[in-house]
Structures are given as structure tokens and as C-alpha cells.
Structure 1
Amino acid sequence: MGPDHVSDGFWEVLESTRPRLSALESWLGTQPQEALEAFALAYESAAESLADFSEGVTVDREVWSEDSTEDLCLWVVGQGRGLWTSVVVGDLPLEEAALMYLGRAPLGPDVVTPWDGEVSEPGHRGYQSPGTIVHGVYRTRFAADLHERLDGVRGD
């Protein structure tokens, strides 16, 4: 998949709210249910386009677990369109992005200020990343599990 499969609107939301997670939380809190679902699906799609999580990523001759690979890919998406595009088109190998994620390589020019992790709603603690805050907001606003809703949308 190329870099065009994720909407400009998704990237605009990330860029306009960064680095304040509470700003993203606030934006999500004003959107209709379908917008939260679309945001979550776009985030998921962008992450999945970077790697097959089940195959892992090899860093220092060690293959990462599925969960660790997924966390890395979610982190790359959270860094914004620039870094994500560099990885998805192959200009930056995922292994090099992993070293950045681990703090063992300098952050490249496509990485911007890290998210601050602050949330306004106490019920959103534990959802303190740009990829998971949508799940906390969805649960708070609609008293439903977004993972379950997305499984139904995707037909899983």
C-alpha cells in the first residue's frame, strides 16, 4: 500500500493537535461516533501498512514479538505523516525506526515533538497515546468498546 491510502484529514488531525494529547482528546470528544471509528480505522490501517505484525521486525538480530512490532508501528504513525511516509515507501527501514523508538538512534527530521501524554478526563488514563486515546474517548462517550465495534465494521 502506498502513502495515499490514509486520508489527509487523519494526518491533519494528528498534526494540528500535536504534541498535546489533551488537544487530540478534546477534538475526539466533539466528533460524532462515525468520526471516531474512522479515525481509529485510519490509525490501524496506517500501522498495518508498515509491517505484518506477526512476522515481527528484526532489530540487533532479534525478532520482535507481534505485540512489540505493533507498538512500534503505532508509534511510527503517531510521529506523523513525514516519518510514516518515509517508512511506508522504504526510504527509512522499519528497523531504523525501531532504533529511534528505543532511543538508540537520533530522531530524524521527520520526527517532531513527542506527545506529552496528558489527558483531561481521568477515565482516559491508560489510553495515553495518540493511537489509544480514541478508545478511551469512545468508551466514555458511547459506553461501548471500540475494538468490538471495529470488529463488526470489518466483519472480523
Structure 2
Amino acid sequence: MKEQASSLYAQKLAEKGYYRLAFDPSYTGESGGWPRRLVSPDINTEDFSAAMDFLSNEEQVDQERIGILGICGFGGMALSAASNDPRIKATVASTMYNMSENIENGYFNSEDSAAAAMRNGQRLLSSGPLISERRTSDAPEAWWIRCPRMHPGL
């Protein structure tokens, strides 16, 4: 969440000359929606891809150099998003464990089975360049809200 450490990361990246976007995952922080404080690997992985939709249409952004940073439990969502979205060229996960994998496969891969591997493989095969290309082409038609309020020091 941008209210946590990501605003500091964004500030440091800006100091290095990077274009950056910090956002609250769905149902957290200043994001709207109900229920509140919901963590969902599917929804939150989608949040990263929605950020890619936006960034892929920004003139200042080099499409071949888009990266993401997932902090804490959202590091797992960043890894999932990067595995599904070829527009993401670099990924950093600052996390103690992969929450997405944990939710899908259980603690210590207790549900690690041929069926779980098949589900994962089918999920990866169903995504890819065609979906991300379509998202990029559809994004200019989306209704984006720019938030002018920045945290102190940004």
C-alpha cells in the first residue's frame, strides 16, 4: 500500500530519475470498494495489470523498460502479475514469502500435487501476449482518475 513503504520506494526511484506510479490495491488504503481490507491474489494481481494498462499508454514511459515492485505480501502478487503479463519487463518482490503461492498451494506446498500443477499451467497458458496487447489497446478508452494529492516529501 502506498501509505506504507511504497511511498518511500517511489520517492527514492524518483530521485534516480524513474517515472513511478504508487497505488493502493483494491479494497485497501484510499481505494474504494467493499469489502474493506480484502486481500485476494486474483484481484490484487489484476491491480498490477491495471497499472500496466495505464503505464502502457503514457508517452513518458519506455514500454520496454516497465518494472514493478511488490512489497510485503503483495510481492507474491507482483510475481504472479509478471508471470502473466509480458509488458512487465522487470520485477522486484520485497517479501518474506510468496502469499499468492501460499494461498493457491497451501503452506509449504501442502497442496502441491499434479492437479495443482495442472491448474497453474492452465492459468499461465490462458494468458500471454494476446491478452496484454488487447488490454493496452483498450486502456485509452478507460476512465482514469489522476490523484494530485501526494504524500509529504514526494
Higher helix share: 1
Larger Rg: 2
- Tell me which interval the TM-score lies in, with the shorter structure as reference length: under 0.3
Higher relative CO (Cα under 8 Å, sequence separation at least 6) belongs to 1
TM-score normalized with structure 1 length? 0.27
The normalised TM-score by structure 2 is 0.27
